[in-house]
Each structure stands twice: as C-alpha cells, then as structure tokens.
Amino acid sequence: MAGGRVYRSNTSADAGSNNLSVLLQSQWVPSSSEPLDTLFIPGSSPSPFLGTRSMVSFEGVDRRRSYFRTFDEEEKVEEDIEEYLHRSEKKRRLTVDQVQFLEKSFEAENKLEPDRKVQLAKDLGLQSRQVAIWFQNRRARWKTKQLEKDYDSLQASYNSLKAGYDNLVKETDKLKEEVVQLADKLLLEGKEKGKSELPDAKTSSQELPSEAAEGEESKVVPEMKSDYTEGVHSSVLLEGAGSSYPFEPDQSDLSQDEEDNLSKGLLHLPSCVFPKLQDIDYSDPPAGSCNFGFPLDDHAFWSWAY
C-alpha cells in the first residue's frame, strides 16, 4: 500500500490479565490520526463492559512490543511476526453490552465527534478507532435499511397510483363506449327527424360516419336534442362544437356555417374530443387542449404512466 495509511499495532496489554481478551480486541491503530489516549491502558478504566466474552488468549505470548508497519518497508522478520500475530489475533466481536451501549449512543447521534468517541472508547474499554469503525459500519447498515424502507414506500405509492390509473382507464373505456352508443342513437334519431322535417336530410346523413369518426380533422354528429344536452356527454360534445359555454350553446357565438350545420342537424367536432384510447400516446405529456380532464402540467402523472 504505497502512500496508504500507516497502522500501529496496539500490543501493550499484559498477557494473562483477566481482561486481556477484551483489552486486546483492537489490532491496528492508525499512528497518524489517533492520539495516545486511544491506547488503552489495562486497569485505567473501570469499564463495566470488560471481560464478559473471552475471545482470544495470548497467555504465554510476549506481546509487549509495539512496532510500526508500512507496506513499503516490511522485512522478513517483521512479516513473520505479523503473520504469527495475525494468526493469533483474530477478529473479535464486541460483547452484547458493548453493542447495546453503542446502539444507544448511535440512536442519540449517529455522527461521532472526537470527544464523544474518546469517551465512548473509555467507557467501553475499546480503542477509539474501534468505536469509529463501529459507527462507520453502523451508518452503512442504517443507510441500507433506509434505502429498503424508501424502496418499499415508493413501491406502495406506485402500486396505489397504478391501481388508480387502471381504474381511470377502465372508466374512460366505459364512458367512451357509452358515448359511441349515444352518438349512434342520435344519428338514428337525426335521420328519422331529418326524413320528416328536412328535404335534404338524406344528403346530411350521408356525411355521417357509422361511428364517432376516427383520425379525421373533424367529426359530425347530429344536433343535440335537449335530452342529450345535459350531463357529461353533451357538455363535452357541445364544448367541442365551439360553444363558449359547455352546457348551453350560445348560438350567437357560432359561425354562419356552424349555424347552418346546426339547422341541418349537424355539428362539427374537433378530432381531439374523442380519441380512441389506443391512439393516446402515453410516452409524453399531451400537448394542446385535449387532456381528457387531466391537468396539463401534471407531468408526474404522465411520467409514471409510461
């Protein structure tokens, strides 16, 4: 590790001490960043957390030596020593009490100021570096959990929105079908009325498609009877016909042609009024005036729709 961190092993504990197993939990201390007070001195702390879980015994091993290591300057002897020490000095888990204490501390504040770190280390009989590492790992676990929570929450709101959207699609289909049926009905009535009242009714009826027209600039439907000028369908139809008020068409606003058509039993509708569902492009928010009741600026809706 050229240019990497230099670690110093903390091997000054007394072999054979009652608390040795815990006191020796840490293996490497960053020599450049850790103050001397991180070197735990046996017997200096009345920590209640010590000695509950013996992990590794170094009895009979003279470990009263400290040394520095860098990856650049390792000699054979040191390698041997290190290998030996590493074999013996295995990773050790913190005791239940230590973990509980750390957890409480983490709940209070998940960042660790230097003073707190040192205090915690003292209280727990750990090295401050170990405390720092524990907090680091704990933050990582917390972040992972948080991501899982966020994912679940997003998934739930997506499912809910999707269900709402599916319902709207069904409802739209149903309404569309209803409109087609009503349009057919009007067509028939218009024909019959035209036969009896208008001499040129035949010509007019020939302009009418059997269904609400598809893919054309305009659509032609017969004049609304009063029965059909109420409610959602008629309002939509009349709005599409250019009326300034969707429920009561003001004939003064109509052009001469429109008035003519009305008098002939015809209305021209822009093609956007009743597009087929399959003609709707969900990949982009709709531009223009045909938004089917959805807010034009509701990009969120269109972005999740597809």
Partner DNA sequence: TTGTGTTTTATTGCCTCC
Partner DNA sequence: GGAGGCAATAAAACACAA
Chain residues in the site for DNA (CB under 7 A) = 1, 4-5, 7, 25-28, 32-33, 55-56, 71, 90-94, 99, 111-112, 114, 129-130, 132-134, 136-137, 139-141, 143
Beta carbon of residue 296, minimum distance to DNA (angstroms, whole number): 38
Residue nearer to DNA on the CB measure, 100 or 263: 100
Beta carbon of residue 2, minimum distance to DNA (angstroms, whole number): 8
Residue nearer to DNA on the CB measure, 98 or 261: 98
Q: What are the tokens at 273?
A: 């009024």
SS3 119: helix
Residue nearer to DNA on the CB measure, 134 or 274: 134
Contact 21, 57 (CB under 8 A): yes
Contact 250, 258 (CB under 8 A): no
Beta carbon of residue 60, minimum distance to DNA (angstroms, whole number): 18
Beta carbon of residue 145, minimum distance to DNA (angstroms, whole number): 10
Closest to 215 in 3D by CA, of 271, 176, 290: 271
Q: How far apart are CA 134 and CA 179, in angstroms?
A: 67
CA 274 to chain centre: 34
Beta carbon of residue 130, minimum distance to DNA (angstroms, whole number): 4
Residue 183, amino acid: A
Q: How far apart are CA 80 and CA 39, in angstroms?
A: 24
Residue nearer to DNA on the CB measure, 56 or 300: 56
Residue nearer to DNA on the CB measure, 2 or 287: 2
